[in-house]
């Protein structure tokens, strides 16, 4: 049992509290990791604000990298000291989705209320999203960990745990984008920039970024967008279609806003597909005219965590990063210590940050 510092959510919408908590070591099938970095994802913020419910008190954080410090019985392929990425994708390997090669859809529940974290007096402390990585250390299932090469910057590596695989994976795994197809990406935040990178890597002909901010559209061009359209304009889908010369083959909605989903089909060409990446709050609804989808042969595709298989996808993304073909360092807006996590969250909420990263040590 270790005593570590963690950022705890005691009440939805309230600032996180830095406290000493207990973390047990690795049991059968588990790995203990001392973290070097954890990025702040909008999913963490939505949970902490109560947008998706959940149990409190809780430790959020799920986009992390560090070094192995403990290995439970039955775990192979890892050694103490190995650098690793830690993800929230926990896969039993036995259920139907896992057997079909879709670990993001694993049906085996995880009981975060009775996980490796506890309060100093023994009280319950929820390990959110099977990670609880707003902390100095984590103990997670071995399926959540991927070894990475020595020498990679750990803050950059942490982004591979969620934001990068979610954006790039939506393009290559969910949309199965073919070279020469045309793309619209709604939202040029962290995940949107990675969808843009994914489209560039996959060989898209035109990549149109749509956002509320001129500054974000300029950044989108740095990551591979060929065109930018302000979402605040009148009927922005017309400007996007003008830039492409037709409708888009794939529209990626990377923001958690129901109104963005309302507009998404308007950007499509016949036979195109809307890829649903961003997660609105529970209860938010979008509306479509179903006959249009049927008549035009269009589709809507859900994309959870980019439908990633982490031990397949993270290594090739690391290799592209090493070649300079995948941007990671440029995604980092700022690095913060754990005791300033509330400032980092506020900065993320402002919409100006690509990714804020908490660094340890």
- Same domain? For 145 and 171 the reply is no
- Same domain? For 260 and 176 the reply is yes
Contact 143, 93 (CB under 8 A): yes
Domain count of the fold of the chain: 2
Question: If you average pLDDT over residues 273-293, what whole number do you get?
Answer: 90
pLDDT the model gives residue 361: 82
Number of helices (H) and strands (E) in the chain: give both, helices first.
Answer: 11, 18
Q: How far apart are CA 357 and CA 126, in angstroms?
A: 22
Q: What is the CATH number of the domain that holds 50?
A: 3.90.180.10
- The long-range contacts involving 277-281, CB below 8 angstroms and separated by at least 24 positions, are 277/166, 277/167, 277/170, 277/191, 277/195, 277/252, 277/253, 277/303, 277/306, 278/187, 278/191, 278/253, 278/254, 279/43, 279/46, 279/52, 280/256, 281/46, 281/51, 281/52, 281/256
pLDDT the model gives residue 354: 87
Average pLDDT, the chain: 95
Question: What backbone phi and psi angles, to 5 degrees, belong to 331?
Answer: -80, -20
- Same domain? For 74 and 139 the reply is yes
Residue in 140, 182, 174 with CA at minimum distance from that of residue 35: 140
- Same domain? For 41 and 120 the reply is yes
Contact 338, 7 (CB under 8 A): yes
**Residue 316 included in any domain:** no
Unique residue bearing structure tokens 């969808």: 195
pLDDT the model gives residue 121: 87
pLDDT, tens digit, for every residue of 57-112? 999 999 999 999 999 999 999 999 999 999 999 999 999 999 999 999 999 999 99
pLDDT the model gives residue 78: 97
pLDDT-wise least confident of 4-18, 143-157, 243-257, 277-291: 277-291
pLDDT the model gives residue 99: 95
Question: If you average pLDDT over residues 258-274, what whole number do you get?
Answer: 95
290 pLDDT more than 90: no
**Residue 321 included in any domain:** no
pLDDT, tens digit, for every residue of 157-216? 999 999 999 999 999 999 999 999 999 999 999 999 999 999 999 999 999 999 999 999
**Residue 274 included in any domain:** yes
**Residue 33 included in any domain:** yes
- Same domain? For 182 and 115 the reply is no
Question: If you average pLDDT over residues 129-156, what whole number do you get?
Answer: 97
- Same domain? For 16 and 155 the reply is yes
Residue in 255, 227, 252, 254 with CA at minimum distance from that of residue 241: 227
Burial 194-231 (b: 16+ CB within 10 A, else e): bbbbbbbbbebebbbbbbebeebbebbeebbbbbbbeb
**Residue 51 included in any domain:** yes
pLDDT the model gives residue 288: 84
pLDDT band at 292 (very low <50, low <70, confident <90, very high): confident
Question: If you average pLDDT over residues 112-117, what whole number do you get?
Answer: 94
- Same domain? For 47 and 195 the reply is no
Q: How far apart are CA 245 and CA 239, in angstroms?
A: 10
Unique residue bearing structure tokens 């993304």: 317
pLDDT the model gives residue 322: 96
**Residue 215 included in any domain:** yes
Contact 127, 90 (CB under 8 A): no
Residue in 41, 32, 328, 302 with CA at minimum distance from that of residue 160: 328
pLDDT band at 353 (very low <50, low <70, confident <90, very high): confident
Q: What DSSP string describes 21-61?
A: EEE----TTEEEEEEEEEEPPHHHHHHHTTTT---SSEE--
- Same domain? For 105 and 151 the reply is yes
pLDDT the model gives residue 352: 78
User: Which residues are CB-neighbours of 355 under 8 A, at least 6 positions away?
Assistant: 39, 40, 159, 163, 190, 331, 332, 333
- Same domain? For 89 and 185 the reply is no
pLDDT band at 339 (very low <50, low <70, confident <90, very high): very high
282 pLDDT more than 90: no
**Residue 319 included in any domain:** no
**Residue 109 included in any domain:** yes
- Same domain? For 7 and 154 the reply is yes
Q: How far apart are CA 306 and CA 277, in angstroms?
A: 8
Question: If you average pLDDT over residues 34-55, what whole number do you get?
Answer: 94
Q: What is the CATH number of the domain that holds 281?
A: 3.40.50.720
13 pLDDT more than 90: yes
Which residues constitute the domain of residue 197?
166-303
Question: If you average pLDDT over residues 301-322, what whole number do you get?
Answer: 97
- Same domain? For 132 and 187 the reply is no
Question: If you average pLDDT over residues 140-151, what whole number do you get?
Answer: 97
Domain boundary among 287, 303, 319: 303
- Same domain? For 177 and 298 the reply is yes
Question: What does the block give as tokens for 76?
Answer: 């192979």
């Amino acid at each position: 049992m270790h005593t570590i510092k963690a950022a705890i959510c005691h009440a939805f919408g309230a600032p996180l509290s830095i406290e000493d908590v207990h973390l047990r070591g690795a049991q059968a099938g588990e790995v203990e990791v001392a973290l070097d970095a954890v990025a702040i994802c909008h999913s963490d913020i939505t949970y902490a604000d109560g947008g998706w419910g959940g149990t409190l008190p809780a430790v959020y954080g799920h986009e992390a990298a560090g070094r192995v410090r403990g290995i439970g019985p039955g775990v192979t392929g890892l050694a103490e000291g190995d650098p690793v990425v830690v993800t929230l994708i926990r896969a039993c390997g036995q259920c139907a989705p896992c057997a079909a090669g879709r670990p993001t859809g694993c049906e085996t529940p995880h009981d975060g209320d009775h996980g490796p974290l506890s309060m100093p007096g023994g009280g319950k402390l929820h390990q959110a999203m099977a990670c609880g990585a707003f902390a100095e250390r984590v103990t997670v299932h071995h399926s959540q960990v991927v070894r990475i090469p020595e020498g990679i910057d750990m803050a950059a590596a942490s982004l591979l745990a969620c934001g990068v695989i979610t954006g790039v994976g939506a393009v290559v795994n969910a949309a199965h984008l073919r070279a020469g197809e045309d793309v619209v990406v709604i939202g040029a935040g962290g995940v949107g920039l990675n969808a843009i990178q994914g489209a560039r890597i996959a060989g898209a002909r035109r990549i149109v970024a749509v956002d509320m901010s001129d500054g974000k559209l300029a950044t989108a061009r740095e990551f591979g967008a060929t065109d930018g359209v302000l979402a605040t304009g009148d009927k922005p889908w017309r400007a996007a279609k003008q830039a492409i010369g037709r409708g888009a083959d794939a529209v990626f909605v990377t923001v958690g806003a129901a109104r963005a989903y309302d507009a998404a089909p308007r950007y499509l060409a016949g036979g195109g597909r809307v890829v649903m990446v961003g997660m609105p709050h529970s209860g938010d609804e979008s509306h479509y005219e179903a006959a249009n989808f049927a008549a035009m042969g269009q589709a809507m595709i859900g994309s959870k965590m980019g439908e990633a298989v982490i031990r397949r996808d993270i290594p090739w993304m690391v290799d592209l990063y090493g070649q300079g073909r995948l941007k990671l360092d440029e995604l980092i807006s700022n690095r913060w210590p754990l005791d300033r996590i509330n400032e980092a969250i506020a900065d993320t909420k402002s919409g100006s940050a690509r990714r804020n990263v908490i660094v340890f040590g």
